[in-house]
Amino acid sequence: MSAQPDHAPVTPYAPAPGAPAELLAQLRADTWVPAFEREWAAALEESRATFSLAALYEVVQDWQGRLASAPAVGRDSAHEPDVFLL
């Protein structure tokens, strides 16, 4: 009889296939796009050298967090009024 683990293995973070493109579409072109592209390019080079997607996943996860925590000011949204214009 083989022993079964008493816990489920932790699945590493893996973004959706279109996550990088979605992030790029949401970023403000003036300041965030160049920074994202720099980090993405560096992670891509690391992934090529290590044959691991971990660096790319980390960039996506970091930028999703940055975007989620950024203030809504400056985002183009028809549903949220810009509080600075009131």
Residues 59 and 39: beta-carbon distance below 8 Å: yes
The DSSP letter of residue 71 is -
Q: What is the pTM of this model?
A: 0.60
- Dihedral class, residue 14 (left if φ above 0, else alpha if ψ from -120 to 50, else beta): beta
Residue 36: its H or E element: helix 32-50
Q: Does 81 or 4 have the greater pLDDT score? A: 4
Q: How many CB atoms lie within 10 A of CB 30?
A: 8
35-69 per-position pLDDT tens digit: 889 999 999 999 999 999 999 999 999 998 888 88
In this prediction, residue 4 carries a pLDDT of 61
Residue 73 in contact with residue 82, Cβ under 8 Å? yes
